[in-house]
Structure 1
Amino acid sequence: MIELRDIHCVHLGTRDLDAAEEFCTEIVGLQSIKRTDTHLYLRAGKRHHSVCYFKGEPGDHRIAFELMDWKGLEKAMVYLKGSGIECGYGTDAESELRFTHAFGWFKDPTGNHIELWVRPTEANRPYHPSLRPTGITGFGHIGLNTTDPLRDQNFWLEHFNARISDWIGPAPLLRVKQTHHQFALFPTSGPGIQHINHQVDTIDDLLKFVYHLQERNIKIVFGPGRHATSGGYFLYFEGLDGMVYEFSTSDRMIIEDDATHRPRQFALEDESFCLFGSKPDIAEFAS
C-alpha cells in the first residue's frame, strides 16, 4: 500500500493563458506568482502553487498528491508496476516545471492522470490575493471523474491509504488525512477533474463572493448552501474551459478516530448535497 500525505495541487491544460490568469486572479482571487510562455502558477496558501495552467488541451488534467515518505518514490513505483498499473517516472525537466524534487505518475482505472510528488516546493512568501481580499485559506479538495464509482473506490482503498468519510448515492468522499475529504469520485463518462475547491475562512467570505460573481456576470451553479456530509458552507461557480470552482468551509470537519468512524450513506437527492434547499446545476450532482 502507498501512503499519501495530502492532495497537493492540480495542473490544467488551456489554450488561453491570458484568460486563465484574468479569471483566476480577478474572479477567484488567486495570486499569480510565476508565468512563462507555457505555464501559469497560482498560489492560494503555503504551497508554491495550488493551481497551474499550461498550454495544452482543455480536459488535459493532472492531479498531484504528496507522498508521506519523501524517500518512498521508488518503492511506490515498484508497487504500482507490480500491481499491473500503468505508471512511469517524471523527468528532471518535468519535475522542474512542477516545482517538485521528483515525481512519478499513474493512471487510475478511469484514466485519470495522477502524480506522486516528493519534496514539493513550499511558498517562501505568504499568499496575497492579486486584486482583492478573498478570505481564502488554502487549497481544499477536488471532485474527480469516474466511469465506475465502485471499481475506482476499491482501487483507492486497495492501493492507497484512502478511507471513506461518506457516500452520496454511489459517490464516495475519500480522505488521506483527518479532514473530511480530499477527493470525491463522481460518475460521468470520462476522466478529468469535476471541480476544484479552495477553503475560505468564514461564511461571510462566501456571501460576499456571491455579489462579486453577480457583478462580474459569472454563473453560480450551486449555492450558497450547506453540505449535509461535512456540514461546510459552500458556493460553486462556473470557471474557465468548463471547470467548476468551489469555495467552502467544508474541510474543517475532523475525523477524530479512523477506527471508530462510520461512513454514512446519503441518498442521491438534492437535499443530500444541500441542507438549505439549493438545487445544483451540475450534471454530476443530478439525482
Structure 2
Amino acid sequence: MEPCFDIAHLAHVEMFTDRFDESLDFFLRVYGLSLAGQDENSAYLRAWDDYEFHTLKLTRHHTTGIGHVAYRASSQAALMRRVAVIEASEYKVLGWIDGDLGHGRAFRFEDPFGHVFEIYWDTVRYSPPDNERPALKNMAQRYHARGCHPRRLDHLNLLAHDVSEFRAFMQTCLGSRVTEMIELDNGRLGGCWFTVNNKTYDLACTEEHGAGHARLHHVTYATDSREEILRAADIFLENGVHIETGPHKHAIQGTFFLYVWEPAGNRVELANSGARLILAPDWQPVVWTDADRKKGQAWGLKTIETFHTHGTPPLDKKGH
C-alpha cells in the first residue's frame, strides 16, 4: 500500500471525568500540564512544547473515558481528500462541527466500536502570556518544571472487541500504517500500533477483554529522558497517586514507561522512546506472538492483570 500522509499528527484527546476539580488539579499540579483556556464544561490543557493551543480537553461528565480523538490534516486539500474517503466508506459519519477554543471546523466520524474521531486543518497556535514566554524563540512555552512536566502529547490506546476491524478503520480513514502488532495463537490480533508520520506510533488499539463500549485504555505524554520518569514516580508517590505499573521498559515499541490512574480512574502514562523513528517507507510490521508476550516486558517484568482489564468508563459488576 502506498504510504498516505494526508494526516499530519495526533492533535488532541478529549477525556471525560466525573471528578472534574480533582482531575484538573492532578493534571496541572502533579502531572505538570498547563491551562490554556477553560469554558463552562471543559479545561484545555497542554504540555510545554506542544505547538497547538491544547492537546488534552478535560470535560465534565457523568462518567470517565474518552470523548473524542483528534488528528490534524496536512493541509486543507488533504483534509477534504480524507473527508471524501470517509464519506465513501462503510464507517459512520457524524459530520462537521464548528470547532472549539483550540481549532476551527472539524469533520467527525466513528469507528466500529463507538470511539469518535475528528480531523481538521485550521488550528489555534499557542501564544504564551508573558509569564509563560520561553527564553528561546523556537520553544512553544517556558520550561516551567512544574510537576512531572512532560514535553508533548505522544499517543493513546483504545480498546476494541476486534482489533482487525479497527486496523481496517485506521488504514481506510486516516491512512495509518501498522508498525508493530500482536498475533494471538487463536488467530486474532491482540493489538496494533499505528502511525501517520515517522513516529513509531501515535495510537494503539488492544483487545477489549470485557463487554465495554468505546473504552479508553490510556493517554500518554512524552518526556525528554528516562530520568524524568523516575522522578515522576517519586512525585506520584508523594501525592498519593495510584501507580499501576512501572517504571520499566516495554518490549513492544521499546518505550520506557510509567502508568498511573488519575483521580477519576482514567489511566495515564509517561513514556520515553528515545530517538526511535520509522524512516523506512517500506517498513514491515514487527509481529509479536503469545509466546513473546508470556516473557513479560523487555526486562522481564510481568504484565499485571489490571493492564488487561482496567479501562474507562469502568465495567459494571456483570462486565458491561
Tell me, yes or no, whether TM beats 0.5: yes
Of 260, 263, 274, the match for 2:285: 263
Of 267, 280, 283, the match for 2:304: 280
Q: Secondary structure at the match of 2:165?
A: helix
Q: How much is the aligned-residue C-alpha RMSD, in angstroms? A: 2.3
Of 197, 204, 207, the match for 1:184: 204
2:75 corresponds in structure 1 to 69
1:121: how far off?
1.4
**d(CA) in 2 for partners of 1:175, 1:285:** 25
Q: Secondary structure at the match of 1:101?
A: coil
**d(CA) in 1 for partners of 2:45, 2:102:** 12
Whether the 8 Å CA contact 2:5–2:197 is kept in 1: the answer is no
2:29 corresponds in structure 1 to 26
1:167: how far off?
1.2
**d(CA) in 2 for partners of 1:8, 1:270:** 34
Whether the 8 Å CA contact 1:136–1:199 is kept in 2: the answer is yes
**d(CA) in 2 for partners of 1:91, 1:174:** 26
1:78 matched to 2:102: no
Segment drifting more, 31-40 vs 21-30: 31-40
**d(CA) in 1 for partners of 2:94, 2:207:** 26
Segment drifting more, 174-183 vs 228-237: 228-237
Whether the 8 Å CA contact 1:25–1:129 is kept in 2: the answer is no
1:124: how far off?
1.6
Structure 2 unmatched ranges of 5 or more: 129-139, 184-189, 311-320
1:33: how far off?
2.0
**d(CA) in 1 for partners of 2:146, 2:305:** 27
Taking a change above 3 Å as real, the CA distance of residues 128 and 240 of structure 1, as seen in their structure-2 partners, is: farther
Of 163, 171, 174, the match for 2:191: 171
**d(CA) in 2 for partners of 1:272, 1:98:** 42
Whether the 8 Å CA contact 2:44–2:57 is kept in 1: the answer is yes
1:139: how far off?
0.4
Segment drifting more, 98-107 vs 275-284: 275-284
Segment drifting more, 72-81 vs 162-171: 72-81
How many residues of Structure 1 are paired with residues of Structure 2 in the alignment?
282
Counterpart amino acid of residue 193 in structure 1: L
Taking a change above 3 Å as real, the CA distance of residues 235 and 2 of structure 1, as seen in their structure-2 partners, is: same
1:132 corresponds in structure 2 to 146
1:276: how far off?
4.5
**d(CA) in 2 for partners of 1:165, 1:108:** 20
Q: Secondary structure at the match of 1:83?
A: coil
1:228 corresponds in structure 2 to 251
**d(CA) in 2 for partners of 1:271, 1:114:** 34
Taking a change above 3 Å as real, the CA distance of residues 244 and 133 of structure 1, as seen in their structure-2 partners, is: closer
1:90: how far off?
3.1
1:270: how far off?
5.3
1:48 corresponds in structure 2 to 53
Counterpart amino acid of residue 236 in structure 1: Y
**d(CA) in 2 for partners of 1:239, 1:130:** 21
1:88-103 to structure 2, matched below 5 A, reads: 88-92=94-98, 95=99, 97-103=100-106
Answer 1 or 2: which has greater helix percent: 1
**d(CA) in 1 for partners of 2:254, 2:65:** 30
1:2: how far off?
8.0
Deviations 1:33-90 (A, max 9, x none): 2222211011112221111112223235210011122234444333222213211333
Counterpart amino acid of residue 179 in structure 1: K
1:158: how far off?
3.2
Q: Secondary structure at the match of 2:245?
A: strand
**d(CA) in 1 for partners of 2:252, 2:244:** 19
Structure 1 unmatched ranges of 5 or more: none
